[in-house]
Amino acid sequence: MENKIIMLVEDNQDDEELTLLALKKNNITNEVVVVHDGIEALDYLLARGSYSGRDSKRLPAVVLLDLNLPGINGIEVLRELRGNPETKLIPVVVLTTSNNSNDIINSYSVGANSYVIKPIDFNQFVDLLSCLGPYWLVINELPFAIGGK
């Protein structure tokens, strides 16, 4: 569990900070890879661009994906991931402020594994991550070997 990577796709630095804070408050100490837009997210996961040297086999146990991203938005990122054999099985949890039902439907349509709305009350957010963390990092079985080796 310790070596499982959490990937956070979040353009808002406040949200990034708060998410990391909430994880910390839940004592989740796993490596968190933070990328700030869609292209970066894809580059990382597909080991291309500035991440071309990266071991492409090392995939995160869960991707916390914001939808409202500059450039390529979350839905497009997800579609791209699902379209790629390397990344099509990665668990993706859409973590967003949007409670728009279209967003929920679209997310599932392109292969989201879960859809979670970020609450305004930070306490609630901490509670939320206390559920998400153990679930995706411990309970959930992954379809591929962690760390690639």
Q: What are the residues binding another protein (CB under 8 A)?
A: 12, 14-15, 18, 21-22, 67-68, 96-100, 118-123, 125
Q: Which is nearer to another protein, 71 or 148 (by Cβ)?
A: 71
In the numeric block, the tokens 């409202």 are attached to: 68
64 token code pair: 């916390």
* Minimum separation from the CB atom of position 56 to another protein (A): 32
Tokens of 16: 């990034």
- Give the Cβ contact number of residue 88 at 10 Å: 12
Q: Evaluate whether 10 touches 19 at the Cβ level (below 8 Å).
A: yes
User: To which H or E segment does residue 130 belong?
Assistant: helix 122-134
Nearer to another protein by Cβ, of 64 and 118: the residue is 118
CB 97, min distance to another protein, A:
5
With H, G, I as helix, E, B as strand and everything else as coil, classify residue 3.
Answer: coil
Identity of the residue, 121 or 141, whose beta carbon is nearer to another protein in the bound complex: 121
Question: Please, what is the minimum distance in Å from the beta carbon of residue 14 to another protein?
Answer: 4
Shortest distance (Å) from residue 7 CB to another protein: 20
Complex with another protein: residue 84 or 123, whichever CB lies closer = 123
- Taking only Cα atoms into account, the Rg of the chain, rounded to an integer number of angstroms, comes to 14
